[in-house]
Structure 1
Amino acid sequence: MSAAYVVSDCWTMTRRELAHWARQPVQVLVGLVFPVMMLLMFGYLVGGGRAVDGPYIDYLVPGMLTLTMVFGLEGTMTAVTRDLQKGVVDRFRAMPMTDGAVLVGRAAADMLQSAVGLLLLTGVGHAIGWRTHGGPGALLGALGLLLLLRFAMLWIGIFLALLAGRPELVQAVQILVWPVGFLSNAFASPDAMPGWLGTAVEWNPMSATATAVRALLGNPGGEPGHLTAAVLWPLLLLVIFFPLAVRRFARLGT
């Protein structure tokens, strides 16, 4: 198949997913507002900042931006399983369509929503006092790292959704995301944790991205040495789960 044919199929499936936004605006709105509520809750109600050298809000916002890239996968996972259950995927696979275009379209729509969510959360962060010190280039680089992490986590979610097969099982799988999200340095420095826990937190791919983003933006808790890990971790996850998801999709019904 030509590259133009593949792109056309993927774009058609992306437009299909975007059309769902107009029919389900509440779901999209909740997905955008939930991270903002989390940021305000931890910034004003819970507080924190033990072992953080600097304003806690400057430490918290990059962590929340990173956490947002892990949460919210249930929307994509539910959409994939719903299409499987209703037989929509079977109809698409019976058409002369590029293998995996359905998955790519779903992923592209999710990435667009994630980018909008990042911009919204960044604006709210600045409104409540968060400041960056790295310039526009550093901000774009930080957003790129965050979206790279989201893209990797997205394909993990798609693969798990294809394994689950039913929307009701997505909730059970989604529960696993919470320990991964909170077992990171999003809200607190590993220096304030017990040694064994701090070590586990340091090995979390989320922690590498959050630390690199803080370093790029000149926020507390940033360490430039984590930039390589923030790129390699998502790429490694993509190398593993992207082909697994495409292969699982190709074998559906066989």
Structure 2
Amino acid sequence: MRDISDALCGVSIDLPENGTGDTLSSTLLQFQILSLQGAGFDTTSRTIMFIILYLITFPDVQERAQKEIDHELGSSRNISGNDQAKLPYVMATVLEVLRKTAIVPFAIPHLTLHDAKLRGYDIDKDTVVFFNLHSVAHKESYWGCPENFRPKRLLDDSGNLLEKCSHLAFGAGRRQCPGETIAKMKIFIVIATLLQRCSFQKADGSDLDFDPTRGLVLSFKVIVKRNL
């Protein structure tokens, strides 16, 4: 037993292979575990790729983030999730990439349980509804020039991270992504550690493309230099 996933797999052995209605089955439980792992790994890894891409394209952002890390933590101490409050600009950079890219443009579909009315629109029962996360992240009246990459937009006048952040990359409400907290922490630790120890540059002869192909598959070459 290494973690919760192992425990759930162990429990599934005693469950019926297939269930009906609200009955939990081993097949359903294992499917949900695989879904959680797949959703957490793929989205997180692609977000990290995009952050590196933006750091290369905007070297001033990369430099400012590295200076913040050097000033607050130094170059030798291991970074933990508790350091997020000490590195507001690094965290703002992560959140701005999440907003700008919106790698999951639509939240998972929902179904109305009864007839509803939303801002004058009638929504019938059993209507499939999609939450347009990309639209929220690029609403010009709220963000002001949403196409510009600007981590400072998420900081107040004192340089602290704004508590209100309405890009909703992980959805909202009771059905929002349950992995939001751990995903943000994991991405922060990886990016902050990389910036603490490395610098990124575009490789000669390679083109950086911000337009993802279907499936959000993106490849690019970079030069990684170890910071002395």
Query: Where is the strand percentage greater, Structure 1 or Structure 2?
Result: 2
TM-score by length of 1: 0.32
Give the helix-richer structure, 1 or 2: 1
Higher relative contact order (CA 8 A, sep 6+): 1
CA radius of gyration, larger in: 2
TM-score by length of 2: 0.35
